Amino acid sequence: MFGGGSGTSSPSPSASAPTSPSPSPSASATCPAGSGNLAQGRPATASGTSQSYGPGNAVDGDANSYWESANSAFPQWIQVDLGCSRALTKAVLKLPPATAWAARTQTLTVQGSTDGTTFTTLVASAGYTFDPATGNTVTVNLPATPTRYLRLTVTGNTGWPAAQLSELQLLGS
């Protein structure tokens, strides 16, 4: 169910080719206004996808759609281009709220970059538990380091053999 339900299997994925790991900054980049979710609607890329579960699903504002990486191919990453450097303070990560998604722990590292080429670790690798009883949401506190490109690298998932994320919300100034 939804690639993450307990006790069921999903159809065999047709993994797509990885997207460019180092996108070029756009000369016409625009900076998101305000201080709400800075990632919503921004360009997202990933190291790979499964079926139609592309990275844009993680920044579309819909917690029921999601990105899923290629199965059994850790590490996998998803990245958002904010269009300009921002001082990020939190990343709110969500999985679909449906109870079909069993609780799981995803191990991930948070990295940031100002140019899309050189990444610095903002938060070291740690396990984050997503539980439908608490909304399948986790919050990762970030250092207020100027960041244009934020990348989550997932190295494990106890609920499915792929990285999964329905919403990547970035907060800051």
Q: What is this structure's pTM? A: 0.82
CA distances for 147 relative to 18, 49, 65, angstroms? 23, 24, 26
User: One digit per residue, pLDDT tens: the chain, 173 residues?
Assistant: 344 433 333 333 334 444 434 343 443 468 877 779 999 999 999 999 999 999 999 999 999 999 999 999 999 999 999 999 999 999 999 999 878 899 999 999 999 999 999 999 999 999 999 999 989 999 999 999 999 999 999 999 999 999 999 999 999 98
Structure-token pair, residue 7: 């006790």
